[in-house]
């Protein structure tokens, strides 16, 4: 909460102004019943209407009404601006923390949950804040000013109203709690149904492939039935709000009317004089006095939801920025990368990398092969410092990478992973991502090199065609675009983690040739399951269970007659068959 107040602090001036405007607007509108009372007193019987006195009163009413409306207009405008500025900053900060959080944080949180913190939770806070301004702020001011005016008109009647206040509070809070319970449940089931539908849409081919449509429909119907039930309860419960509050209002109204009449008949000197006009103003106050209670209690539940959302967003804001205490820049060019007896595990109970020891020299093509789960991608994670080693160290030009600023380190690498990342945008934008100011010619050249140009030219608008992860591109085509994206950046060291696994072997070979040509003198790490890809590598590291078990060139490894040869033969035989 304290943190949140710091978001309001820069807007102190607007806050004070909005409070003032709200106060003036409410006070001006609440003063009107007093004038109406006075006007009534000027027309107490037939043919006794004193127009001369009534006109100025009407004029005052008009003036106050207009002023109240003007101030209310500006107040609403300020409230909206304030709320939106606060949530805008909150969203910016939350996204900033997310972008700079460590990969560990993102890997250990459900992604859908992180998205909903930035989108729906902040929306809840925005609603809470706006309602807080509109209803709470205004409600409290209205109650206070009404009380003041009531005391001004007649203090005995004012006490009567205050005595009935707990009843208004009780009814209002009971109703809002009940409504809140139903609405929370309704929102929860709606969320679940949304998630279910999304899952079914995203995986429709698998659902259809398993002919599981009927079961899916049955499960949906069950959830829908629950939503129906809670929807009915919520609607009914909220429809009771108005009659109940009207009932309390009427009680207050009647009590004020009866006691007011009795007071008018009294002649005791300690009782302030109550005219018909005075009683009528008072009845107006009594009539609207209980309204803000209902509004406020409605807001309280909204505020509770906003507060729990705020907690979730603040968790995000408290995420530590990725530790980045390196301050020694890399001395280019990178001559050596030395993995010095590395140990690492994601989970302390499941040892993964142990005693990985190897040196890579500038211009070498290093291939890493090995069974699924042996730790190939993990080595890349360590090199890029998405995770840090537990023991040992990685040295670039004899400089430990923990001393290098992460941005400087990562700038030197170009990575293409098995999971392609294509965002909603044109082909040009997708390829140019990562190199600001890339020209059209450069993009086309990169695409030609990776043999993506021909399929791009066949797209309806060529390089200007809008694409996205789910749009009609094949997985291999998406991989070609991500390779082109990396080519364009011309990084010093290239990492290909299963980057060509979905591309046909002929195109793959052509891309490899292109790599060999343009990347001369550059260091390349290639992780591949298809051994045909890596035969030209200077060194092939065969990994198993987090360690290097064999290393050498393709020919050397075949001669060794070990694990690599077995792997190679199994693929070779397979290829012979097809």
Ligand X SMILES: Nc1ncnc2c1ncn2[C@@H]1O[C@H](COP(=O)(O)OP(=O)(O)OP(=O)(O)O)[C@@H](O)[C@H]1O
Binds 372, which of Mg ion, ligand X, none (CB < 5 to 8 A, cut-off by type)? ligand X
The answer to whether residue 377 forms part of the interface with ligand X (CB under 6 A) is yes
CB of 346 to ligand X, least distance (A): 3
The answer to whether residue 374 forms part of the interface with ligand X (CB under 6 A) is yes
- Site residue total, ligand X (CB under 6 A): 11
Q: Which of residues 124-183 bind Mg ion (CB under 5 A)?
A: none
Nearer to Mg ion, 376 or 478 (CB): 376
Q: Which of 26, 286, 352, 537 binds ligand X (CB under 6 A)?
A: 352
Taking the alpha carbons at both ends of the chain, their separation in whole angstroms is 66
CB of 352 to ligand X, least distance (A): 5
- For 229, other C-beta atoms within 10 Å of its C-beta total 13
Question: What is the phi/psi pair of residue 110, to 5°?
Answer: -65, 130
Q: Which residue is nearest to Mg ion (CB)?
A: 377
Q: Which of 117, 134, 365, 376 binds ligand X (CB under 6 A)?
A: 376
Binds 375, which of Mg ion, ligand X, none (CB < 5 to 8 A, cut-off by type)? ligand X
Separation between Cα atoms, residue 487 and residue 415, nearest integer Å: 10
**Nearest to residue 416, comparing CAs of 309, 511, 352?**
511
Separation between Cα atoms, residue 484 and residue 491, nearest integer Å: 12
Separation between Cα atoms, residue 198 and residue 203, nearest integer Å: 8
Nearer to Mg ion, 376 or 522 (CB): 376
Nearer to ligand X, 1 or 110 (CB): 110
φ/ψ bin of 209: left (φ > 0), alpha (ψ from -120 to 50), beta (otherwise): alpha
Handedness of CA 119, 124, 130, 132 (dihedral sign): negative
Q: Which ranges in 203-290 belong to alpha helices (H)? A: 204-209, 213-239, 241-265, 276-289
Q: Which of residues 329-348 bind ligand X (CB under 6 A)?
A: 346-347
CB of 352 to Mg ion, least distance (A): 12
**Nearest to residue 447, comparing CAs of 473, 479, 424?**
479
Q: Which of residues 66-125 bind ligand X (CB under 6 A)?
A: 107
DSSP character at residue 347: B
Binds 374, which of ligand X, Mg ion, none (CB < 5 to 8 A, cut-off by type)? ligand X
CB of 412 to Mg ion, least distance (A): 21
CB of 377 to ligand X, least distance (A): 3
Q: Are 342 and 365 in contact (CB under 8 A)?
A: no
* Cis peptide bond N-terminal to 221, omega within 30: no
CB of 527 to Mg ion, least distance (A): 6
Q: Which ranges in 290-351 belong to alpha helices (H)? A: 291-317
The answer to whether residue 184 forms part of the interface with Mg ion (CB under 5 A) is no
Nearer to ligand X, 481 or 541 (CB): 541
Look up residue 56 and give its two tokens. Answer: 């100025």
Q: Are 530 and 571 in contact (CB under 8 A)?
A: yes
Binds 378, which of ligand X, Mg ion, none (CB < 5 to 8 A, cut-off by type)? ligand X
Q: Which of residues 368-387 bind Mg ion (CB under 5 A)?
A: 377
CB of 457 to ligand X, least distance (A): 33
Q: Which stretches of the chain bind ligand X, using CB under 6 A? A: 107, 346-347, 352, 372-378
Q: Which stretches of the chain bind Mg ion, using CB under 5 A? A: 377
């Amino acid at each position: 909460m304290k943190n949140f107040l710091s978001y309001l602090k820069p807007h102190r001036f607007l806050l004070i102004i909005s409070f003032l405007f709200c106060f003036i607007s409410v006070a001006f509108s609440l003063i009107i019943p007093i004038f109406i009372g006075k006007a009534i007193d000027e027309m107490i019987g037939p043919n006794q209407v004193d127009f001369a006195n009534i006109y100025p009163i009407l004029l005052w009413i008009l003036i106050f009404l207009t002023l109240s409306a003007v101030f209310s207009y500006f107040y609403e405008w300020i409230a909206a601006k304030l709320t939106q500025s606060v949530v805008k900053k909150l969203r910016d900060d939350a996204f900033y923390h997310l972008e700079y959080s460590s990969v560990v944080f993102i890997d250990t949180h459900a992604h859908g949950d992180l998205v909903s913190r930035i989108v729906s939770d902040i929306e809840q806070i925005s609603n809470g804040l706006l309602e807080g301004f509109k209803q709470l702020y205004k409600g409290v001011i209205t109650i206070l000013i009404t009380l003041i005016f009531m005391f001004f008109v007649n203090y005995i009647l004012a006490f009567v109203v205050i005595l009935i206040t707990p009843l208004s509070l009780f009814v209002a809070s009971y109703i809002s709690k009940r409504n809140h319970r139903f609405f929370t449940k309704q929102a929860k089931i709606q969320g679940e149904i949304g998630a279910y539908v999304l899952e079914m849409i995203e995986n429709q081919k698998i659902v259809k492939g398993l002919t599981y449509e009927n079961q899916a429909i049955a499960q949906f119907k069950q959830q829908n039935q629950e939503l129906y039930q809670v929807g009915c309860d919520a609607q009914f419960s909220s429809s009771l709000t108005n009659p109940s509050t009207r009932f309390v209002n009427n009680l207050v109204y009647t009590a004020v009317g009866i006691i007011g009449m009795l007071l008018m008949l009294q002649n005791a000197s300690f009782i302030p004089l109550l005219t018909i006009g005075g009683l009528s103003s008072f009845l107006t106050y009594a009539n609207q006095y209980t309204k803000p209670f209902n509004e406020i209690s409605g807001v309280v539940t909204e505020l509770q939801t906003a507060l729990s959302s705020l907690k979730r967003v603040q968790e995000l804001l408290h995420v530590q920025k990725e530790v980045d205490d390196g301050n020694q820049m890399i001395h280019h060019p990178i001559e050596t990368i030395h993995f010095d007896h590395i140990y690492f595990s994601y989970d302390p109970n499941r040892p993964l990398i142990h005693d990985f020891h190897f040196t890579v020299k500038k211009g070498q093509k290093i291939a890493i092969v090995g069974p699924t789960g042996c730790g190939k991608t993990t080595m890349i994670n360590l090199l890029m410092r998405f995770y840090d080693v537990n023991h040992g160290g990685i040295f670039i030009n004899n400089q430990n990478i923990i001393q290098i600023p992460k941005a400087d380190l990562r700038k030197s690498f170009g990575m293409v992973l098995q999971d392609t990342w294509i965002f909603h945008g044109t082909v040009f934008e997708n390829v140019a991502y990562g190199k600001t100011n890339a020209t059209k010619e450069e993009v086309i050249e990169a695409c030609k090199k990776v043999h993506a140009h021909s399929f791009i030219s066949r797209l309806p608008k060529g390089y200007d065609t809008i694409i996205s992860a789910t749009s009609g591109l094949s997985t291999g085509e998406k991989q070609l675009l991500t390779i082109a994206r990396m080519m364009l950046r011309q990084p010093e060291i290239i990492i290909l983690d299963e980057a060509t696994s979905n591309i046909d072997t002929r195109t793959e070979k052509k891309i490899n040739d292109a790599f060999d040509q343009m990347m001369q003198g550059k260091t390349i790490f290639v992780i591949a399951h298809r051994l045909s890809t890596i035969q030209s590598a200077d060194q092939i590291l065969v990994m198993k269970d987090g360690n290097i078990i064999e290393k050498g060139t393709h020919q050397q490894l075949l001669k060794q007659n070990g694990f690599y040869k077995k792997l190679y033969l199994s693929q070779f035989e397979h290829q012979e068959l097809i």
